[in-house]
Amino acid sequence: MTQEQEKNTGVVISIAKYRDCVEAEKWPDVANNKDGFGNMKWTKLYELQERKSSRFLCKIHNAQDNRLLALFAGRISANDSDGARVSIDFIERHRDATEIKGHVIVIALKYAYTLCDLFMFDFVKLLNPAPGLLSTYKAEMPDWIYTEHRKYSYLMAPVQHT
């Protein structure tokens, strides 16, 4: 491994702060460049979840230089109509964070599965999966069910507890 590769190997997942959301809103426009969605209104999402214990907003950043690489947000629902679940509602990777391309989805879903296991919840749910990334999402969610409901779609999968 070269020194350059070694420098970029570590990432940290932590709770996002408002300044991270402001920074993410300045990311380059990706409307025509990616399979997924981009240029989300992260400051608005931050404000919606800020004081709600059932919601989370996490950042993935480089361990060496603290560069913001991605954000993901979701919620914990103990009493949802389709069972106790953890949902991932939003995911976005910085266009230039190529070192984690294809891994942000995996990280966010593993986070959701871990929370489900911790709280003994029944399902992981992924809201509005990007059509261009459906196969990637499905590969990470065994026994998935795809549902379209009004203007939303989602993937949901049962959790096997350890």
CATH of the domain at 36: 3.40.630.30
The pLDDT of residue 16 is 97
The secondary structure element, H or E, covering residue 90 is strand 85-93
Sort 135 into a burial class: Cβ within 10 Å, 0-12 / 13-18 / 19+.
exposed
Q: Could you list the residue range(s) of the whole structural domain that residue 35 is in?
A: 3-158
The pLDDT of residue 6 is 52
Whole-structure pTM value: 0.87
Of residues 93, 92, 89, 71, the one with CA closest to residue 14: 71
The low-confidence residues of the chain, meaning pLDDT below 50, are 1
The pLDDT of residue 161 is 82
Alpha-carbon distance of 50 to 10, in angstroms, equals 27
Q: How many domains does the chain have?
A: 1
Alpha-carbon distance of 156 to 4, in angstroms, equals 39
The pLDDT of residue 28 is 85
The pLDDT of residue 34 is 55
